[in-house]
Structure 1
Amino acid sequence: MQSLVHDLHFEMKPGKVLGLVGESGSGKTITCMSVLQLLDRKTTSVEGSIRLQGRELNGLREEEMRNIRGKEIGFIMQNPMNAFSPVYTIGNQFIETIRTHSDLSKKQAKELAVDSMEAVNLPDPSRLMRKYPFQLSGGMLQRVMIAISMCLRPSLVIADEPTTALDVTNQLQVLRQLDRLRSECGTSILLISHDLGVISELADEVAVMHKGRIVERADVFQLFDHPRHEYTKKLLHSRPVLPIKEQTKELVL
């Protein structure tokens, strides 16, 4: 059997953000799927230990993992268009998620859903609750998914490219909400992104993946200012930089 990722060791600290960066195919998403136990167990196997607050997750039965996902581990998927069922309204899916993992009544769950959608800058949440996924843009679905992941205040949020489908204004709003979640609730966040600007804005530490391995891990300032591994240096140098034209002053008589 071919190994897709190798010798991964990292720890998520309460209230801290670990940024996971690397080129496409480096193993970032499959690492998250392994933590969530979402890989097909018939064709893949995960060796080693995955622990959440002292509880071993690797090898848990699907029913037990289903209770953990959503409540203790929030997951913001990379493709929001595939995250929702097309035959149920946004409100139906939002409320069902809340009630599955809490003792809230339907009315209380609806109020929490509306408040959570407002927090991620969605307009008129009460109206959006009655719409179907295909009636929302990709960016709006992304924010709905973020709201669902955050509303139950999980111990860990895994955010796989959470700002990909968003414009700059809403990117800032989402980053602020993630920052509030970790500061107010002590939530750990595993932030996967190709956007090094997003990583530098939110992450406390950064792990760099290359060919299925973590080749460097450091404090965010140290990694951006003084990268050690050659791959990290190439990754940072690949960022587009706008040329700065030297301004010339004209003397007007």
Structure 2
Amino acid sequence: MVEQTSPVLQVEGLKVKVKTEQGTLPLVHAVDFELYPGRVLGLVGESGSGKTVTSLSLIQMLDRSMTVIEGSIRLNGRELCGLKDDELRRIRGKEIAFIMQNPMNAFSPVYTIGTQFIETIRTHTGLSKKQAEQRAIDAMTDVNLSTPSELLRKYPFELSGGMLQRVMIALTICLKPSVIIADEPTTALDVTNQLQVLRQLDRVRQEHGTAILLISHDLGVIAELADDVAVMQQGRIVEQAEVFELFDHPKHPYTQTLLAARPMLQISPEMAGCIWT
């Protein structure tokens, strides 16, 4: 594990507003947090609390004609707010990567998986086409995708949502960015592949010191991977603490409500005996 040093991503006073005919309406209110190398910050909250809007604002992917972003977002000391599109394109993927909640939105339907995967690798590295293809195959194998050579020749619509999710995660991991923003990365996966993906994210943060912002409504996923947790309600972070402290001693009433709403599996002693024998 990389030792905690200075933050790789610093967010201060982040505000996001949407433009309407009646004026601007606030979506995110003065959010502050930091990401450190090799650590995972879990961002939790109910649907509509502002988690995805916050994550998209970090990589400046909100429609500028419809939204206003205020505050400071510094990646390795460099301010991202106000950068031109061409500068942001060089940073996205290589320095800060985004795993989307809906994998179908991450790929163009008119190009094969291989064309998009290999082109992305070559855009951010000096690898040849053959080297990039091998890196793609290795990365897809790492996320439990069988016959990756065949998958590279397929179009996105030929893959299931779960397979596309793993392709996107493989592409993100193989570029070794400083920061990964993972928005519900296990939503479309079964339990076995969820575990595989969490292991891969854990491996990349340990081996490469990648900082991860893990957005999830699944508190089990957060408990499994996060080091720290921030709780978002109505566009505000209402509580932030180390993961064990937050789960064991939640302070804010909203956090207490979220934890109390977790489904608990009730197993009788007789049934438990059947499971473990």
User: TM-score band, normalised by the shorter chain?
Assistant: over 0.9
- The residue type paired with residue 54 of structure 1 is G
State the partner residue of 1:149: 172
Separation in structure 2 between the aligned mates of residue 136 and residue 41 of structure 1, nearest angstrom: 32
Secondary structure at the aligned position of 1:47 is classed as: strand
1:119 Cα deviation after fit: 0.4
State the partner residue of 1:180: 203
- The residue type paired with residue 71 of structure 2 is G
The reply on whether 1:210 has 2:233 as its aligned counterpart is yes
Superposition pairs for residues 1-16 of structure 1, below 5 Å? Answer: 1-16=24-39
Over aligned residue pairs, what C-alpha RMSD do you find?
1.0
Superposition pairs for residues 83-102 of structure 1, below 5 Å? Answer: 83-102=106-125
Superposition pairs for residues 108-127 of structure 1, below 5 Å? Answer: 108-127=131-150
1:159 Cα deviation after fit: 0.1
Separation in structure 1 between the aligned mates of residue 207 and residue 31 of structure 2, nearest angstrom: 29
Query: Deviation string for 1:46-65 (max 9, x for gaps)?
Result: 11110000100001001100
The gaps in structure 2 that reach 5 residues or longer are 1-23, 272-277
Separation in structure 1 between the aligned mates of residue 183 and residue 266 of structure 2, nearest angstrom: 31
State the partner residue of 1:251: none
Secondary structure at the aligned position of 1:104 is classed as: coil
The reply on whether 1:201 has 2:224 as its aligned counterpart is yes
Separation in structure 2 between the aligned mates of residue 41 and residue 122 of structure 1, nearest angstrom: 36
- The residue type paired with residue 12 of structure 1 is L
Separation in structure 2 between the aligned mates of residue 109 and residue 243 of structure 1, nearest angstrom: 49
Q: Of 10, 16, 19, which residue of structure 1 is paired with 2:42?
A: 19
State the partner residue of 2:105: 82
The gaps in structure 1 that reach 5 residues or longer are 249-253
Separation in structure 2 between the aligned mates of residue 244 and residue 230 of structure 1, nearest angstrom: 28
The reply on whether 1:242 has 2:255 as its aligned counterpart is no
- The residue type paired with residue 69 of structure 1 is R
Query: Deviation string for 1:92-136 (max 9, x for gaps)?
Result: 000010011111100000000000000000001011111111111
Stretch moving more, 78-87 or 155-164: 78-87
**Percent of counterpart pairs with the same letter?**
71
State the partner residue of 1:56: 79
Query: Deviation string for 1:25-83 (max 9, x for gaps)?
Result: 00000001110100111121111110000100001001100110010011100001121
Q: Of 132, 135, 145, which residue of structure 1 is paired with 2:158?
A: 135
Higher relative contact order by CA 8 Å / sep ≥ 6: 1 or 2? 1
Separation in structure 1 between the aligned mates of residue 61 and residue 114 of structure 2, nearest angstrom: 25
1:7 Cα deviation after fit: 1.2
Secondary structure at the aligned position of 1:18 is classed as: strand
Separation in structure 2 between the aligned mates of residue 107 and residue 243 of structure 1, nearest angstrom: 53
Q: Of 215, 218, 226, which residue of structure 1 is paired with 2:249?
A: 226
Runs (4+) off by over 4 Å? none
Q: Of 28, 36, 40, which residue of structure 1 is paired with 2:59?
A: 36
1:246 Cα deviation after fit: 4.8
Separation in structure 2 between the aligned mates of residue 20 and residue 147 of structure 1, nearest angstrom: 22
Separation in structure 2 between the aligned mates of residue 245 and residue 115 of structure 1, nearest angstrom: 44
- The residue type paired with residue 151 of structure 1 is C
- The residue type paired with residue 52 of structure 2 is T
Separation in structure 2 between the aligned mates of residue 67 and residue 160 of structure 1, nearest angstrom: 21
Secondary structure at the aligned position of 2:72 is classed as: coil
Separation in structure 2 between the aligned mates of residue 194 and residue 218 of structure 1, nearest angstrom: 17
> Which has the larger share of strand?
2
